[in-house]
Amino acid sequence: MLLLGKSAGGFASLALAAQQPAGLRGVVNFAGGRGSQPQMREKAAVCGEAQLLKTVAGFAATSRVPQLWIYAENDSYFRPPLVRKMAQSYLAAGQNLKLVFAPSSGAEGHQFFDRAANIGQWLPQVREFLMLQLPGTAAAQLQSPNSLGDKP
């Protein structure tokens, strides 16, 4: 089993992984976090940043599976300096974590993963992670959907 989630779903994946469910092999966290204040993004505000970091450190203390975290450089919900602090909790606890910052994309990097045009920038990282966590599993040969809401 693998957990994948974006934004609050990424944060939920971290929380579940900390509970060590049977059969869990890894986590892919796309821009995960909680507490971003949309009206204050220009000030890099996350309400309760100290509590967020404390909570993430608690997850790090009990999580035991490899994790891949991907954030965009221009994510104003969870900016790179905060994400690095979050990741440091895992690294300090001796966890297997790979943190990747994708290039800035559009006006808001938190929506990076919602844009079909960006798939090629994150899919190789995810594919590599999945192959390491699920060795011997054949990759499905799927065609990209015609549209994910983006203009060609």
Phi, psi of 51 (to 5 degrees): -70, -40
Q: How far is CA 98 from CA 12, 61, 140, 145, in A?
A: 18, 16, 24, 28
The partner residues of 101 in beta bridges, in order of sequence, read: 71
Q: Where are the domains of the chain?
A: 2-118
Q: Which CATH superfamily is domain 2-118 in?
A: Alpha/Beta hydrolase fold, catalytic domain (3.40.50.1820)
**pLDDT recorded at residue 149:** 57
Q: What is the pLDDT of residues 95-152, one digit of tens each?
A: 999 999 999 988 888 888 888 889 988 999 999 999 888 877 666 676 666 655 555 4
Q: What is the pLDDT of residues 21-39, one digit of tens each?
A: 999 999 999 999 987 766 5
- 68, HSE (Cβ side, Cα atoms, 13 Å): 21
Q: Which residue has the higher pLDDT, 80 or 149?
A: 80
What does the angle CA 64 – CA 14 – CA 56 come to, to the nearest 5 degrees? 95
* CA–CA dist 89, 22 (Å, integer): 23
* CA–CA dist 68, 108 (Å, integer): 21
